[in-house]
Copies of this chain bind each other. A is one copy, B any other.
Amino acid sequence: MKQNKKNCDLKSCTMCKQCQHDWLPALDANRKSFHFKKGEQLFIEGEEVKGMYFISKGLVKVHKRWSDEKELILRIARDGDIVGHRGLGADTVYPVSGTAMEPTDVCYIDLSFFNSTLRTNPDFQYNLLMFFAAELKESEKRMRNLAHMNVKGRIANALLYLQNKFGKDANGYINLSISRQDLASYTGTTYESLFRIMNELSTEKAINTDGKKTQILNAALLQEYIEQS
C-alpha cells in the first residue's frame, strides 16, 4: 500500500453524504489517502485495529479465515462503502481481513478520531447504526442459508444477489469481475463444486470479442435451484 497525494472524497461515502456537512471539514482534516494494488491487504485478521476505510474507488473483499487454506468471504465492498468497521467494539483486533480485489483508492480515518467523530455527529452515528443493523440482517440471512440451503441454491442465490447489488453492464453481464475461487469462498463451497454447478447453470456460452468464453446463466435454472434447495 502507498499513501498518495490524490485527494479522496469523503462525500462519495454513502454514509457521510447523508450527514450534516459542517462536520466534514474536521473529518477531512484527519483523513489519509491510500492506494492498494490488487491483492494487497487493507487490514488483517488478528492485527491491532488501526482505523476505518472509506472506499473512494475500487473493490474490497472482507473475509475470515478457517484453517490455513479455507476462508469465507463475508462481503464485497465497493465505491462508497465503508470497511474496517468490524474492528469497532471492545476487542482491539480485526476479526476479519480486507483485501483489494481491484486497484483501490481509500480514505483512511484513524480509529481514535473516528470514535470521537461518532460523538460529535449523532447523524453519522445513527447512519452507522442503521448500517450495522442492515449488515446484521444480511449476515443472519446468509447464516441461515448456509445452514439449510444446498450448494446449488446458495450459488444461485449468490449470483442473483450479486447481480442485484452490482447491476448489469451493456452486455447483460454482472458488473463485477470475480474469480471462481472467490465466488466459491463467497458461497461457502469448493472451487470444484462451484465449477460444476456453474456449468450446469449455463446452458449456452458466448465467445467475446477478445476471444474469451463467457458463461451465460440460465435465469430459469437459477430460480429452480433456489426453489429446490
Chain A interface (Cβ within 8 Å of chain B)?
64, 66-67, 70, 72, 74, 85-86, 88-91, 95-96, 118-119, 122, 125-126, 128-130, 132-137, 139-149, 188
Contacts and interface: CB of A to CB of B under 8 A. Distances in A.
Contact of A122 (B86, B122, B134, B149): B122
B144 A66 contact: yes
A96 B140 contact: yes
A137 B95 contact: yes
A141 B142 CA distance: 12
B70 A148 contact: yes
Contacts of A140: 64, 74, 86, 95-96, 139
B143 A142 contact: yes
A91 B143 contact: no
A218 B212 CA distance: 56
A125 B129 contact: yes
B139 A90 contact: no
Contacts of A188: 146-148
A129 to B, nearest CB: 5
Contacts of A139: 136, 139-140, 143
Given A129-B125, A133-B132, A143 B74 contact: yes
Given A129-B125, A132-B133, A144 B85 contact: no
Contact of A118 (B66, B85, B129): B129
A122 B117 CA distance: 12
A91 to B, nearest CB: 7
A52 to B, nearest CB: 12
Contact of A128 (B129, B142, B145): B129
